Amino acid sequence: MGAAPLDGVTVVSLEQAVAAPFATRQLADLGARVIKIERPGGGDFARHYDATVGGMSSYFVWLNRSKESLTLDLKQPAAQPVLARLLERADVFVQNLAPGAADRLGLTGLRARHPRLITCAISGYGSSGPYAQRKAYDMLIQAEAGLVSITGTEEAPSRVGISVADIAAGMYAYSGVLTALLARAASGAGTAIEVSLFDALGEWMGAPAYYTGYGGSEPPRSGAAHATIAPYELFVSQDEIEIYLAVQNGREWTRFCEHVLERPELAEDPRFASNAMRVLHRPLLHGLIADVFARLPAVEILDRLERADIACARRNSVAEFLDHPQLAGRDCWRTIGSPAGPLRALRPPVRMHGIDPVMGPVPSLGQHNQAILEELGFDPATISVWRKDQVI
């Protein structure tokens, strides 16, 4: 395998929870050295969300492999020279501190002192505007960005079941850092990157925003169905297997009627002649399809759908996903180390020919304190008290 693409790049991150750790883990997977600065005592609070992975948090394990953990209480004067020396040697500095915290810690104006440094600030709402000082968490951003209003059923709105605002912001931060590294290779100068959860999720809300802004009404909450495409939803077989299908165009609709429903006349029915008409008559359409599926076992339905080349899927549980044949047959799993022992982890989704991802162990809190301090030229014995309750 070839060298890791970001080998030689050093990232210093003041990070917690999801968005920034997700961004820096992508960089670590590409070979960057990521030094994660954590609060002494408790560390990143995502360490304590749950204890399901051998006593560790599922969130923390997911987001923090391949990193080095250094505990520093940045409110203590003794920590400042350590951070300063780290930043002298860093290529990238990432932080998602609470609003105003970076200013209080003297972390503004870094690029004036370090012109080649790439800084990346991840926040809830950005550094300006009336919401700039608000605390923000994923569910709150989903609500403010309108995602909750179009998610769920007609009776009850719902948040999305994963941290989509955090993940969106983390991915934009990651791509922004990669772009800045590419630009620096040409110009020699770093840059400042700013990403907010609100803006990131706002970009993901593009289709419903256009639909609402120009159509005059929001897409309706439609549960597991697509709000503006039909049939694009869940049906149940005779043996009570839940099957999703998606018909995207007129050609597929004709094949679906002929080969799956075995009712070719429906393809010419004016009530279903276009997607817009099928959405308008969704309850009637759903009932017609549901009646056919209720008389057939799942294996027969899936066979008909495959022969008609109609996209479909079974509704899997998370446990069924973990055992999915598409994962088992494509070298998708790796073993990583952790304080709890070896763990199974999915490899990153981007595959580059000749390059294997770097998937190192999950660090324990402060695991790399002594090594990093000595590397920076500090004697750990002379820099001992970082907080009243924490000694290195």
By annotation, the residues acting in catalysis are 226
C-beta separation of 386 from 71 below 8 A: yes
Q: Which residues pair with 233 in a beta bridge?
A: 245
Task: Provide the b/e sequence for 242-258 (b: ≥16 CB within 10 Å).
Answer: ebbbebeeeebbbbbbe
Euclidean distance between CA atoms 12 and 35, whole angstroms = 5
* Residue 123: strand pairing partners: 196
DSSP 256: I
The residue behind tokens 């800045």 is 180
**Residue 342 to residue 70: CA distance in whole angstroms:** 22
DSSP assigned state of 100: T
Find the largest Cα–Cα distance for the chain.
85
Residue ranges of E strands in 198-251: 232-236, 242-246
Q: Do residues 44 and 17 lie in contact, with contact meaning Cβ atoms separated by under 8 Å?
A: yes
> Is residue 31 within 8 Å of 5, Cβ to Cβ?
yes
- The β-bridge relationship of strands 192-196 and 343-346 is unpaired
- CA gap 274, 179 in Å, rounded: 42
Give 128-156 as a DSSP string. SSTTTT----HHHHHHHTTTGGGSB-SS-
Closest CA to 373 of 154, 112, 72, 74: 72
**Closest by Cα among 354, 353, 331 to 344:** 331
> Both tokens of residue 134?
């608000």
